[in-house]
């Protein structure tokens, strides 16, 4: 039995992991193509107030002539919040949180009526000792998204953090936050609402700054999301199309012996699915009421996996970052590359502030055209970093 020990403490059983490295994996495939209601539901959940993605009359007057999906939509049209190829192999007694996401986009927008198909591969992993949970696996998986015409839309590399839930609960890294939720005054909420409105008005028309007019040191308009709540976390979860009953079926890559598809990753008791019962009662693999995501909206379950109170989703934070950049880039710009490292969850009761700065201008980029490099930091109301990202954005040239 392969085991990973970083000290004299607990072990991660990796006997079902090692032989899967580098192999294609399966997962879920959505039955239906992307609908306008899917796009509207997604931007509503992401609080992305860009009329190009929900306002039919506005979109009709743009060069697109109709609603298009935001670039962040690709993860909503995937299975498993984009984490499927990074969570491969059974590790008994384990749980998972997101560690980061890296995205590349290739110039093909997602339109209503498009259907995405995924190719997934388990890339690699490493095990290190962490304060949070002792022996901890950082595993990476790749997903390539193509549309129904075979056009390359995007590639994602997700990082999953897999650890022993019992050890994380025992260490209690976030215990100090248990039951401690910021109580916002009406004046503070009014200030947050004012900042939110200022951001959504900063480029509502979708104007794209030209590459020549952007300078290193330029600051992007500040954005805020929150306060986060059980309602907002649930809204986010339900915007991922695969979470709706009956929306997907299982697929497997051809020619792979024992491909990873929908096996049990070893979730700790109380967080698993019942795939057989789900054929009759889909709530048995709903994920939120039953399954690994229930800790996101239930403090008692959050505590069992070391999180102490309700918390948000990694894939959501990466989408926030993409939307923030795309809104600034406008209708003629595009986010080409985004690498986000997740430092902490967005906890219930917190707000998330976005600060972006142009840190470089690359005239001869690997893309073959000029891009600007933008550093983005997401922080909570106390200044604690939640996400840091480095991104390349194409602007008109």
Radius of gyration of the chain (CA): 21
Exposed, middle or buried: residue 269 (CB in 10 Å: 0-12, 13-18, 19+)? exposed
Strand runs labelled E in the chain: 3-4, 12-13, 24-25, 27-30, 94-105, 117-130, 134-146, 152-164, 223-225, 248-251, 334-342, 352-362, 371-379, 385-394
In tens, the pLDDT along 299-320 reads 877 877 877 788 888 899 999 9
Please tell me the distance from the alpha carbon of residue 137 to that of residue 125, in angstroms, as a whole number.
Answer: 7
Please tell me the distance from the alpha carbon of residue 140 to that of residue 366, in angstroms, as a whole number.
Answer: 23
Residue positions counted in the chain = 397
Range 68-86 average pLDDT:
96
Given this model, what pLDDT does residue 212 score? 94
In tens, the pLDDT along 28-39 reads 999 999 999 999
Q: The tokens of 166 are what? A: 């019992």
Please check the confidence at residue 180 and state whether its pLDDT lies above 90: no
Given this model, what pLDDT does residue 14 score? 94
Residue whose C-alpha is closest to residue 307's, from 170, 136, 174, 129: 174
Range 367-374 average pLDDT:
93
Residue spans of alpha helices (H) in 136-217: 165-171, 186-202
In tens, the pLDDT along 355-365 reads 999 999 999 88
Q: Please, which residues have CB within 8 angstroms of residue 46's CB and are 6 or more apart in sequence?
A: 70, 72, 236, 239, 316, 319, 320, 323
Q: Are 303 and 171 in contact (CB under 8 A)?
A: no
Please tell me the distance from the alpha carbon of residue 393 to that of residue 210, in angstroms, as a whole number.
Answer: 11
The overall average pLDDT reported for the chain is 92
Q: Are 314 and 383 in contact (CB under 8 A)?
A: no
In tens, the pLDDT along 205-218 reads 999 999 999 999 99
Given this model, what pLDDT does residue 103 score? 98
Helix (H) or strand (E) holding 236: helix 230-239
In tens, the pLDDT along 332-343 reads 999 999 999 998
pTM (global) more than 0.85: yes
Please check the confidence at residue 110 and state whether its pLDDT lies above 70: yes
In tens, the pLDDT along 118-172 reads 999 999 999 999 988 899 999 999 999 999 999 999 999 999 999 888 888 888 7
What domains can you pick out in the chain, each with its CATH number? 3-394 (3.10.129.10)
Buried b (16+ CB within 10 A) or exposed e, 9-34: ebbbbbebbeebeebbbbbbbbeebb
**How many of the other CB atoms lie within 10 Å of CB of 258?**
10
For the ranges 65-79, 82-96, 117-131, 284-298, the lowest mean pLDDT is seen at: 284-298
Q: CA 300: distance to chain centroid?
A: 24
Greater pLDDT, 11 or 105? 105
Residue whose C-alpha is closest to residue 55's, from 41, 40, 42: 40
């Amino acid at each position: 039995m392969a085991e990973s020990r970083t000290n004299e403490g607990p072990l991660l059983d990796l006997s079902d992991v090692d032989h899967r490295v580098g192999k294609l994996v399966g997962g879920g495939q959505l039955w239906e193509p992307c609908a306008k209601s899917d796009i509207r539901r997604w931007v509503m959940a992401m609080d992305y107030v860009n009329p190009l993605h929900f306002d039919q009359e506005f979109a009709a007057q743009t060069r697109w002539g109709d609603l298009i999906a935001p670039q962040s939509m690709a993860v909503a049209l995937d299975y498993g919040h984009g984490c499927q190829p990074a969570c491969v192999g059974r590790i008994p007694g384990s749980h998972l949180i997101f560690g980061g996401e890296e995205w590349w986009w290739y110039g093909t927008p997602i339109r209503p009526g498009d259907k995405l198909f995924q190719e997934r591969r388990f890339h690699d992993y490493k095990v290190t000792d962490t304060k949070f949970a002792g022996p901890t696996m950082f595993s990476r998986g790749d997903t390539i998204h193509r549309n129904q015409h075979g056009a390359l839309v995007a590639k994602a590399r997700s990082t999953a953090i897999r650890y022993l839930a019992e050890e994380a609960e025992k260490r209690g890294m976030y215990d100090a936050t248990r039951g401690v939720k910021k109580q916002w005054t009406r004046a503070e909420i009014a200030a947050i609402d004012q900042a939110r409105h200022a951001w959504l008005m900063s480029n509502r028309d979708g104007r794209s700054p030209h590459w020549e007019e952007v300078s290193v040191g330029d600051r992007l308009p500040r954005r805020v999301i929150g306060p986060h709540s059980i309602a907002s976390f649930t809204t986010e979860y339900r915007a991922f199309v695969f979470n709706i009953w009956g929306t997907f079926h299982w697929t497997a890559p051809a020619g792979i012996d024992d491909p990873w598809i929908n096996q049990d990753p070893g979730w700790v008791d109380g967080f698993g699915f019942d795939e057989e019962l789900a054929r009759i009662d889909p709530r048995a693999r709903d994920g939120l009421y039953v399954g690994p995501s229930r800790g996101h909206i239930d403090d008692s379950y959050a505590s069992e996996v070391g999180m102490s109170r309700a918390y948000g989703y990694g894939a959501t934070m990466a989408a926030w970052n993409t939307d923030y950049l795309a809104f600034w880039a406008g209708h003629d710009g595009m986010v080409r590359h985004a690498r986000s490292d997740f430092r902490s969850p967005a906890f219930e009761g917190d707000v998330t502030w976005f600060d972006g700065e142009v840190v470089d201008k690359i005239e001869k980029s690997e893309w073959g055209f000029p891009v600007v490099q933008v550093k983005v930091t997401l922080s909570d109301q106390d200044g604690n970093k939640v996400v840091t990202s480095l991104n390349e954005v194409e602007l008109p040239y």
